[in-house]
Amino acid sequence: MSYKEDLAIKIATGNSCELVALQYQALIENVQDLGKYINKNDKEKTFAASDKIRDILSNLIATLGDDNNDFKNASIDLYLYINRVVNNAVIKKDTSEISGIIKIFETLRDAWYSAGANMSDKNEHKNLSKGITYGKTDVNISGSTSDLGRG
C-alpha cells in the first residue's frame, strides 16, 4: 500500500482526534522539509513549505470553534509562536529551532492519537472524512467541512 493510499484510509476511518493528529503529522513532515530546503538554500521550496505550514496552522486555528476558552487561547498562542519561529527560520536562514518545533508537534500528535484511540465512534465526521484526500504534497477537500473540529 502506498503512502497516499494508507493516508486516505486513515482519513476515511479516523475520528476527529485522529484527524487532528494527522494534521500534526503533516506539520512534522513539512517542518522537516522546510529545514532541508533552508539548508539547501532552495528559496522556491522553502517558501512553498512555509506556506503549507501556515495553511495547516490556519486550519487548526479555524477548527477551534467560536467559544472563547483557555484551550483555544493557549492553542492559538502556540500556533502563532510556531508561525513566528517558521518565519524567522525562513528570513534568517537559521534552522536551529526546527527540531524544537518538531518535538512540540510530535508530542501533540501522540496526545491526539492517544485521545482518538479512546473514542468509540471512528466515523464521527462522515461528511468530512469522505471529502478529503491528503498527501505529503497536496490536500484536496471536496466535501463539507462544516462539522470540522466540532465534537
CATH of the domain at 111: 1.20.120.340
In a domain, 87, yes or no: yes
pLDDT per residue as tens digits for the range 5-24: 656 666 666 688 888 899 99
In a domain, 29, yes or no: yes
In a domain, 94, yes or no: yes
In a domain, 8, yes or no: no
In a domain, 2, yes or no: no
Count: domains in the chain: 1
In a domain, 102, yes or no: yes
End-to-end CA gap in the chain: 31
User: Which structural domain range is residue 59 located in?
Assistant: 16-141
127/123 Cα distance (integer angstroms): 9
56/26 Cα distance (integer angstroms): 8
Residue 123 banded pLDDT, cuts 50, 70, 90: very low
Strand (E) or helix (H) holding 53: helix 43-62
4/60 Cα distance (integer angstroms): 21
Amino acid at the residue 133: T
In a domain, 3, yes or no: no
pLDDT per residue as tens digits for the range 73-108: 999 999 999 999 999 999 999 999 999 999 999 999
Assess contact for 12 and 125: CB atoms under 8 A: no
147: Cβ contacts below 8 Å, ≥ 6 apart: 125, 127, 128
Q: Pick the closest to residue 53 from 124, 136, 149, 127 (CA basis).
A: 136
Cα angle vertex 102, ends 139, 150, to 5°? 50
Query: In this structure, what C-alpha cell is assigned to residue 55?
Result: 495553511
Q: How many residues appear in the chain? A: 151
| 113 compared with 140, residue with greater pLDDT | 113
Total-model pTM = 0.73
Q: Pick the closest to residue 21 from 96, 91, 118 (CA basis).
A: 118
In a domain, 105, yes or no: yes
